A and B are shown apart, each in its own frame.
Chain A
């Protein structure tokens, strides 16, 4: 079930009524769990078995891990959980990809091998709930948290419908404690939750699907070069589309959860105002980037084993992060580019820190020479400089989006060459209306992110008169109603 469907409106209404009836807390949690299974089953009922398997195995493995004292046995139990979770993910998500590359490898060495095309359907949300259950088992293994004694609480933690299929990727400490005591949304929480749901739907239905998707699909689907303006418009359209689609989903999820009285973690913080790539990943898909940091980058050694290892760890993390998004080499390149930009940024930061330190030494030892020869190191105190760097970051992010969205490398290269004017006589494909629409939305998106980069929606809502909030709210609702795209799937479901 998707949030932008009539089915979901009915579903949510029923859940809200049930959650506010005078049932026991356990009964309410059972309701939520059953509703979550229903929410999932309405896509493809058989895949619910995978969800159950993952839930049951991780619940019992974590318990066994917690009571086991022998390190080898603990590792073995952890391995069982990892093999099951990552095995399911690998089979369903990467089975076809691995077979395809294996076939290509064999043919490269002259062995003719024609494998039957695997007919594997990717279960919705498997990448998300696998990471949720993995974080729990790993936390118990590291003794960061105790295993949850209640199966109901654990099953609800894994399956809770607002985050189940596309995040935010919750950690045990985010949600399990909230299931321990009875919760019901206050009128304020309910209203704010509905506001967030409306905002998320507006981002998804009106902006992503209604105004940007067509342009992005057209440009990325063309097998021939286009004019530079068209290429950039297509890429900017996708840039806005993917943000509004994914952040829209997260906003809906957070809003729906709040309507029930549960708080989910933030997943986006105005990423298109990021200054640098490390800042970008602190703002984009925050729950994934922190997951990768805590369960991959740090266990690999993080930045504790010298510069070279740090760069290698960064690259491994981002390459796997890219692969997490999809079984295709284009996603790997996308991850590699992000890894590369993170490495360059880190190198530059270390280098300028060393340079500053040297300068300070010079100033202390030979102040006259220093005053005469030193160029002041670039500082970010100036707003224009900051904004320029944010635009530079966004520019590079957009370049990486080409690989993320393009169906093939050839398609990506064709578009990049068109973007940078290397192919001069591309075709004009977009109408003035499409260019204008994408242009206006891009400018508004950047302005909004820049103005809000150090603030939050809650803080803004507190500064505004209630009727202004109401006008903004109704404007979004009207635009959602007018757009009339009721059941377009979210891009991140495929991941």
Chain B
């Protein structure tokens, strides 16, 4: 029997672990990956904490991926002087967050609700709400310990590329194994790694590689088709739709009763995706009805020539460059809906010169 030499084993393990970390980091840098922050519960909670600072110039954004890609937070800040608070969650219905904000007696700010019909008009408790419900429930229990860990993690994530749980953690790496799919079982959408990155303010952006590569864009188009094939074939209607509209109205009314403001927004989609969306969720039956039922202003991109001039390379989201222009053009529309200017006085003129006429 050996005499265990634990200290020696510990030192060797430490040296090997450090060597691995350094090598792993260099490998992914060499592969030209872009740094991306984990868009996890803690990052979301850190933004949720800011909602009480919301103002017309600093709206809270809730929705799905489109507003995360399409509304450029830095551009909004450049024009209005304030950065919006991004609470949208990719692939998720914003309704649980809307309900949460409605129930929060201290939220009296400005709310922009991004409506992607296929996600917004889903029954309460259905799959597209799952992640939003999870985060809303987790937020009140976001402990001091988690907040400290979040700050430490921020420092590490800002410097280490491999700390990317969407693309480079064990599970996403395992999904790259050549294991055939099981007939009838769907493992969820598989986006190419180069599709997008997430910034610390929760802005999502397409990577340069993605914008430049049509084959990658086609892959994402394929993912949308895949998702479509696994989505309910019939949109909600009847009493279920009425329930959704009533729940939305209740939350909107709660916010407005406290002096807050709400605007719905339909961001651009393109090509076959837009056609299918129009067919599945006819505007008169869903969008128009939502605005009428809740008595809330809305911005539908196709109503404004300035917001219609963009192309979504993968049918659903804008490129970073277009997101800047879209945001510049969106702000005057929001101002018009609200009946007041959002632009900071000092740079108002400069920003106006960059935006295109409505």
Chain A residues within 8 Å of B, Cβ to Cβ: 1-2, 5-8, 10, 41-45, 187-188, 190-192, 194-195, 198, 206, 210-211, 214, 427-437, 461-467, 469-471, 473-474, 477-479, 481-487
How distant is the Cα of A462 from the Cα of B3 in the complex, in angstroms?
Answer: 6
Q: List 26 A-B contacts (CB under 8 A).
A: A5-B145, A6-B149, A7-B149, A10-B152, A42-B143, A43-B145, A187-B6, A211-B170, A428-B183, A429-B185, A430-B182, A431-B182, A431-B185, A433-B187, A437-B174, A462-B4, A466-B8, A469-B4, A469-B6, A470-B9, A470-B12, A470-B13, A471-B16, A473-B13, A486-B153, A487-B149
Contact A484 B169 (CB under 8 A): yes
Contact A485 B10 (CB under 8 A): no
- Chain B residue numbers with a CB within 8 Å of A44 are 143
For A481, give its contact among B3, B21, B177, B179 (CB under 8 Å).
B21
Nearest chain B CB to A197's CB is how many angstroms away? 11
For A482, give its contact among B9, B143, B169, B187 (CB under 8 Å).
B169
How distant is the Cα of A433 from the Cα of B180 in the complex, in angstroms?
Answer: 8
- Chain B residue numbers with a CB within 8 Å of A2 are 145
Given contacts A42-B148, A44-B143, contact A191 B6 (CB under 8 A): yes
- Chain A residue numbers with a CB within 8 Å of B343 are none
Interface-centre pick from B42, B171, B186 (highest chain A CB count, 10 A): B171
For B181, give its contact among A192, A195, A431 (CB under 8 Å).
A431
Nearest chain A CB to B19's CB is how many angstroms away? 9
- Chain A residue numbers with a CB within 8 Å of B186 are 431
How distant is the Cα of A464 from the Cα of B42 in the complex, in angstroms?
Answer: 41
- Chain A residue numbers with a CB within 8 Å of B152 are 6-7, 10
Contact B1 A463 (CB under 8 A): yes
Interface-centre pick from A8, A481, A484, A487 (highest chain B CB count, 10 A): A484
Chain A CB within 8 A of B163 CB: yes
- Counting contact residues on chain B (CB < 8 A from A), the size range is 35 or more
Contact A191 B7 (CB under 8 A): yes
How distant is the Cα of A348 from the Cα of B101 in the complex, in angstroms?
Answer: 59
For A474, give its contact among B2, B16, B179, B182 (CB under 8 Å).
B16
Q: Give the secondary structure class of A's interface.
A: helix
- Chain A residue numbers with a CB within 8 Å of B185 are 428-432
How distant is the Cα of A276 from the Cα of B143 in the complex, in angstroms?
Answer: 41
Chain A CB within 8 A of B358 CB: no
Interface-centre pick from B8, B149, B177, B181 (highest chain A CB count, 10 A): B149
Nearest chain A CB to B167's CB is how many angstroms away? 11
For A465, give its contact among B2, B170, B175, B177 (CB under 8 Å).
B2
Contact A469 B9 (CB under 8 A): yes
| Contact residues, B140-184 vs A (CB, 8 A) | 143-146, 148-149, 152-153, 156, 163, 165, 169-171, 173-175, 177, 179-184
Nearest chain B CB to A257's CB is how many angstroms away? 16
Nearest chain B CB to A325's CB is how many angstroms away? 20
- Chain B residue numbers with a CB within 8 Å of A214 are 171
Contact B179 A433 (CB under 8 A): yes
- Chain B residue numbers with a CB within 8 Å of A428 are 182-185
Contact A188 B7 (CB under 8 A): yes
9 smallest beta-carbon distances between A and B, as pairs: A191-B6, A42-B145, A473-B13, A6-B152, A431-B187, A470-B9, A1-B145, A470-B12, A466-B5
Contact A433 B10 (CB under 8 A): no
The chain B residue sitting closest to A6, CB to CB, is B152
Nearest chain B CB to A276's CB is how many angstroms away? 32
The chain B residue sitting closest to A40, CB to CB, is B145
The chain A residue sitting closest to B5, CB to CB, is A466
For B2, give its contact among A42, A211, A434, A466 (CB under 8 Å).
A466
Given contacts A43-B143, A432-B180, A477-B17, contact A466 B9 (CB under 8 A): yes
How distant is the Cα of A44 from the Cα of B332 in the complex, in angstroms?
Answer: 45
Given contacts A192-B6, A466-B5, A467-B9, contact A5 B149 (CB under 8 A): yes
How distant is the Cα of A1 from the Cα of B148 in the complex, in angstroms?
Answer: 10
Contact A483 B170 (CB under 8 A): yes
How distant is the Cα of A474 from the Cα of B89 in the complex, in angstroms?
Answer: 36
- Chain B residue numbers with a CB within 8 Å of A192 are 4, 6
- Chain A residue numbers with a CB within 8 Å of B38 are 484
How distant is the Cα of A43 from the Cα of B145 in the complex, in angstroms?
Answer: 6
